[in-house]
Amino acid sequence: MPSLDLFEDTARQLTVCNACRYCEGYCAVFPAIESRRTFEPSDIQYIANLCHDCRDCLYACQYAPPHEFAINIPSTLAQVREATYEQHRWPQQLGPLAGGVRPLLLLSAGALMLGMAAVAALEGVHALVSAHTAPGAFYSVIPAALMELLFIALGLLWIAAWGRSATSFWRSTAARSARASLPAVLRAAGDALTLTYLGGGGQGCTYPEESFSKTRRWLHHLVFYGFLLDLASTSLAAVYDHLLNLPAPYPLWSPVVVLGTIGGIGIVIGATGLLVQKARSDRSAAHLTMLRMDVAFLAALLLVATSGILLLGLRGTAAMGALLVLHLSTVLAFFLTAPYGKFVHLVYRYTALVRFAAEQRNQS
């Protein structure tokens, strides 16, 4: 829950926006603001997670700093989102994983050292420095059962954490009149998949600078759909291995490799571009903690994609064993931090979009 001071300041700023209405039509946030006379804590958390941080409102606002009203919606709502993530996080004890780049690098380095030691103990040091080209070559470095059990356990933790967070957020923010009907769920899915509200008033975001640009939207698409392609590649590989008895590695023309390669390249381009944009962005519109979470999330994706591409390119060499352990270490760090870092915005934003779609349906 946002602190009392943060709640009062956010309510004050939203009230000014409601009276001004200059930014009407910019994104989903302002119709949600304008449909209210007062702003309860549940409304503030909902509106904060509806915000896509396009920042158009900051540069259009006549009351933005240095005006005495000090209206800075992007920064204020970012602070509320941080409080939302903290309130609905499950389990709470894993909160330190939501930090910045340092926890990510420590987890990756720790997993890498443990992985190297485990392979040396189970398979011998030669497994890390020898070429492996036969079918099932990856499993000659790390046993298949160990790999699968570890990531199934982490995947279940991920699903449970996101499920509990989404349920808690919905119960604490959704009004009784905003029920998650099928039309609302489908509309929210369409808005999320197309990033409808990352276009500001239609000309794009004033991000990283005050001029309008659609670059950020396309970079987000590269990251998101690159991730989905990599997920599809991994799922297809599981089908090949367990149902068709065709263990990895696969030929370069295999659908598994093609999907994974395209997805990895998309993530590298998208994540790199977004990191460059964040380095150039206006710090006055940001919240430092959320900025660190953004950077850590993009860095995690970049490490996973880059190490995966390196593994693909050098899998026929003596470096394959060490690169496999490196890649799995970055994947492990990503799995551990994803339910508690910036990636969780997908859960809260989609849930907020469902409520917004339900409210719009009720009003019409």
Question: Among 356, 265, 300, 358, which residue's Cα sits nearest to residue 32?
Answer: 356
The pLDDT value recorded for residue 201 is: 61
The pLDDT tens digits for 168-178 are 999 888 765 56
Tell me the C-alpha distance between 260 and 266, whole Å: 10
The pLDDT tens digits for 10-44 are 999 999 998 888 877 678 899 899 888 889 999 99
Residue type, 322: A
Tell me the C-alpha distance between 154 and 231, whole Å: 15
The pLDDT tens digits for 230-271 are 999 999 999 999 899 998 889 999 999 999 999 999 999 999
List the chain residues with pLDDT less than 50: none
φ, ψ at 205 (rounded to 5°): -90, 150
Report if pTM > 0.85. yes
The reply to whether omega before 183 is within 30° of 0 (cis) is no
Structure tokens at 216: 């950020």
Tell me the C-alpha distance between 40 and 38, whole Å: 7
Structure tokens at 45: 């958390």
Residue 213 pairs with which residues in a beta bridge?
205
Cβ of 206: how many Cβ atoms within 10 Å? 23
DSSP conformation letters of 145-176? HHHHHHHHHHHHHHHHHHHHHHHHHHHHH--T
Tell me the C-alpha distance between 42 and 203, whole Å: 31
Integer-rounded Cα radius of gyration of the chain:
22
The pLDDT value recorded for residue 175 is: 63
The pLDDT value recorded for residue 176 is: 56
- The per-residue pLDDT of the chain, averaged, comes to 90
φ, ψ at 213 (rounded to 5°): -160, 145
* Residues 88 and 169: beta-carbon distance below 8 Å: yes
The pLDDT value recorded for residue 284 is: 92
The pLDDT value recorded for residue 179 is: 75
